[in-house]
Structure 1
Amino acid sequence: MSISQKNLREILEKLNIEQLNPMQEDAQLVIESNSDIVLLSPTGTGKTLAFLLPVIAGLDTDSNEVQVLILVPSRELAIQIEQVIREMGTGFKTNAVYGGRAGSQDKIDLKHRPAILIGTPGRVADHFRKESFPTEQIHTLVLDEFDKSLEIGFESEMIEIVDSLPNLQKRILTSATQRSDIPAFVGLRNPAIIDYLHEKISELTVKTISSPSKDKRKTLVDAIHHLGNQPGIVFCNFKDTIQEVSDFLSENNIGHGCFHGGMEQQDRERSLIKFRNGTYQIIVATDLAARGIDVPEIKFIIHYQLPKHDHEFIHRNGRTARMHSEGTAYVLISENEYLPDFIRSDHFREELVKQDKGYV
């Protein structure tokens, strides 16, 4: 079953979207007509809506039990998907469960079963053990950003969850990076592949900024002043580095927010809210903000510290130059700083001249 054109127009209008992009249109057709699907598309291309539309079309309006389970690697992504479903205004109940959320609130929400349950593997597995709700009517499983869930150590919980779903009819895996090894425990059989990873869908420019000193904070401040009043993310690898950068930005009267795993959930959400509404133009973050976080269209990101792996570099860059838009990723490097192989290749299309010569 597919969503009618009338209902689709109503949903898109509620989401302030004019039309689906080619990936989303392809995903609807493929997901509707196949039982096992792998959706590969860069960050920011609208994968969430791509799988939600056909998944919602397959819901039984007469059922009072959980029918769709969406597993995600982070609470932020769980909250974001929950918000998107509610904004779609389909009338189907949805709830998100995740670590750090009060178990008593889960109990209240699950008393009246949601048609769609979103959650992190750890919290969902905990509910399965407690038999918080029946699983027999769950017919669709979505592993959103499945590679990230595996990277952060959720494999055993994911295996436990999949083994507890006896009546699955559809399995959907999504990722923003190429991964050759699909985990066997998911049980995919000849999956249909939707691969948009290599499509030219945005205009990303990558530039370097050279710092004359090992301490790159002053160069960062100069770069932010040069870039002007536009939204951007400064990426760091560690929460301690974020604190050091944050203190220096405050000393230089640059308003900003912070976002990392060491913060309380409510503090992270507060930072994102202020970033979205323009109170802050800058947010200093770890890779937690690189995937699936609902942030506004941003004009630039700065790699204050480079990630160790190329897929992390890709996800960070994906926060700017989102679908059909332009953006710039800046790599802030000090003299003699080691650059990983994936940076030394052909990523750079343009270089920012050194600080002592001014910015172009």
Structure 2
Amino acid sequence: LTSATEKVKIPPFVGIKKATRLDFLKNNNVQLQIISVVSPDRNKFNTLVQLLKYNTHGNGIIFCNLKDSIQKVSDALTRDKIDHACFYGGLEQLDRERALIKFRNGTHRLLVATDLAARGIDVPAMDFIVHYELPPTEDEFVHRNGRTARMKTEGTAYVLRWKQETLPEFIKGAEEISPRSTKEEKVRKWKTLYITGGRKDKISKSDIAGLFFKQGKLTQEELGVIELKQDCSYVSVVSTKYKELIETLNNSRLKKKKVRISLLE
């Protein structure tokens, strides 16, 4: 049993009476940098957009406390043409799964989420996380931060606060900055394609890669992450090639199955 916090009790049904406690943080240099970002506006939208455009690199999660906040942040990012996915408890299971697929494969480098994404989901370590809204408790602060700076890698936790807000006592030692205008990072954009064939059809990742390399004429740099499910598959490709690939590869055969290929919206 592992946990980022110590308030986890071992369930009685496990039958363990004397557990041995291992502290993996002992004698370990934490590579997490905590930065407080001051916003002149109460809604913090402009500050968030500036931060994402000019001060962050790689993949990150933007944490909100409420579903309504996620929608408002999503609208602000959409207005500024910043690709992202949303993740919260009110979404259908399939929508949550597809949001994570597109986040993992690079179609979206940002995930706007509630604390549901702070633990228990299958995503790699983040380059950064953003506390768009201050976490209600220290435990949530720790779990959110646990999405970055994992396994001795470096990471940054940005805490957005309105200039009249005071940081809670459990957020200590944060460096304070205002977003700076620098050259915007240019990143390769990806699209996710949906394939109507999966494990039950005995289709493998190498089968899909072969199709996209041979018939789709993609290079290794143009083919991204492939995820196999029981009855379907998802593959990320460079955004400049997805229309051509759909026209060329739709109704192709993988193993003995004729598959349809379409854009995952």
Tell me which interval the TM-score lies in, with the shorter structure as reference length. Answer: 0.5 to 0.7
CA RMSD of aligned residues (A): 2.1
Provide the rounded CA distance (Å) in 2 between the counterparts of 1:301 and 1:190: 36
> What pairs with 1:130-145 in structure 2 (closer than 5 Å)?
none
1:311 Cα deviation from its structure 2 partner: 1.3
* Other-structure match for 1:211: 39
1:262 is the counterpart of 2:87: no
How many residues in Structure 1 have an aligned counterpart in Structure 2? 182
CA deviation string 1:79-134 (max 9, x = no partner)? xxxxxxxxxxxxxxxxxxxxxxxxxxxxxxxxxxxxxxxxxxxxxxxxxxxxxxxx
Candidates 51, 56, 63, aligned match of 1:223: 51
> What pairs with 1:9-48 in structure 2 (closer than 5 Å)?
none
> What pairs with 1:331-350 in structure 2 (closer than 5 Å)?
331-343=159-171, 346-348=172-174, 350=175
1:351 is the counterpart of 2:179: no
Q: Which amino acid aligns with 2:176?
A: E
Q: Does the 8 A contact of 1:274 with 1:280 survive in 2?
A: yes
Q: Which amino acid aligns with 1:337?
A: E
Provide the rounded CA distance (Å) in 2 between the counterparts of 1:228 and 1:268: 25
C-alpha spacing 1:182/1:276, structure 2 compared with 1 (3 Å): closer
Provide the rounded CA distance (Å) in 2 between the counterparts of 1:323 and 1:175: 14
Q: Does the 8 A contact of 1:178 with 1:197 survive in 2?
A: no
More strand by share: 2
1:238 is the counterpart of 2:63: no
1:197 Cα deviation from its structure 2 partner: 3.9
Provide the rounded CA distance (Å) in 2 between the counterparts of 1:300 and 1:322: 11
Candidates 125, 139, 144, aligned match of 1:311: 139
Q: Which amino acid aligns with 2:132?
A: Y
Structure 1: 4+ residue segments shifted above 6 A: none
C-alpha spacing 1:180/1:303, structure 2 compared with 1 (3 Å): closer
1:295 Cα deviation from its structure 2 partner: 1.3
1:283 is the counterpart of 2:120: no
Candidates 184, 187, 194, aligned match of 2:22: 194
1:320 is the counterpart of 2:148: yes
Provide the rounded CA distance (Å) in 2 between the counterparts of 1:252 and 1:200: 40
> What pairs with 1:288-299 in structure 2 (closer than 5 Å)?
288-299=116-127
C-alpha spacing 1:198/1:306, structure 2 compared with 1 (3 Å): farther
Runs of at least 5 residues in structure 1 that lack an aligned partner in the other structure = 1-172
> What pairs with 1:92-131 in structure 2 (closer than 5 Å)?
none
Q: Does the 8 A contact of 1:306 with 1:331 survive in 2?
A: yes
Provide the rounded CA distance (Å) in 2 between the counterparts of 1:285 and 1:180: 23
Q: Does the 8 A contact of 1:229 with 1:281 survive in 2?
A: no
Provide the rounded CA distance (Å) in 2 between the counterparts of 1:243 and 1:181: 35
* Other-structure match for 2:202: none
TM-score where L is the length of structure 1 = 0.47
Runs of at least 5 residues in structure 2 that lack an aligned partner in the other structure = 183-265
- Three-state SS of the structure 1 residue aligned to 2:33 is strand
> What pairs with 1:46-195 in structure 2 (closer than 5 Å)?
173-179=1-7, 182=10, 186-195=14-23
C-alpha spacing 1:267/1:188, structure 2 compared with 1 (3 Å): same
Provide the rounded CA distance (Å) in 1 between the counterparts of 2:8 and 2:97: 34
